Chains A and B, each alone.
Chain A
């Protein structure tokens, strides 16, 4: 089935550790995105990529890093520099242009 796969669904990490969230899509979409969702808040854009080997910062990129080595994959690393990393992270992809974005099921990251 075509779609976006995020793994793992739940992730626990100790404070100060880097952690990488996986996002894979088989929809042949050009653009991919990472959003962060906090309780009672809308989604905020962390990073986005419109083509392979290129990506741009979103509104809250500090403390995060990404790579786009393959069209299908857009992993997000939450570094120790991120002050408050506990959140729900959603990955999305879309074809070129202003069509709707398709979302994965999210990863809930808890830092203890």
Chain B
């Protein structure tokens, strides 16, 4: 069965600290897609990244970086030099290629990040 686990419910850091948000997934498909979304207090989900199962190359975008490891079924997200504006709930999600549910996202429960000045 497919599942996404974000074990960290809440994380609190002080501005400029680095922080890593963990994501572990389960799927039987060999082709799948992984996502990270940010949900600020306004409620709208903001897309951050998509990664397909054949591309294990890590990615960096400014202060954000993602570490995808198929061997451990993990897709962790690191924010370097955190800022107050990074405070939000972050969701990891999985989309499987098979089963006729194309595009449907399976979400983890989210990690609430609080960055204090």
Contact = CB atoms under 8 A, between A and B. Distances in A.
B42 A97 contact: no
For chain B, what secondary structure do more than half of its interface residues adopt (helix, strand, loop), or is it mixed? loop
Given A33-B104, A103-B45, A42 B50 contact: no
Interface in A59-109: 88, 90, 92, 94, 96-106, 108
Contacts of B35: 100
A29 B60 CA distance: 28
A94 B103 contact: yes
A90 B39 CA distance: 12
Contacts of B110: 40-42
Nearest to A45: B104
A106 B109 contact: no
Interface size class of B (residues with CB under 8 A): 20 to 34
B43 A105 contact: yes
B96 to A, nearest CB: 9
Interface in A28-57: 31, 33, 35, 40-45, 48, 50, 56
B11 interface: no
Contact of B102 (A41, A90, A98): A98
Range for the number of chain A residues in contact with chain B: 20 to 34
Contacts of A35: 107
A104 B44 contact: yes
B109 A40 contact: yes
Contacts of B95: 98
Residue from the set B6, B43, B102 with the largest chain A CB neighbour count within 10 Å: B43
Given A98-B97, A106-B44, A42 B103 contact: no
Given A99-B103, A106-B43, 9 more contacts: A31-B103, A41-B110, A42-B108, A45-B105, A48-B104, A50-B103, A97-B102, A101-B105, A106-B44
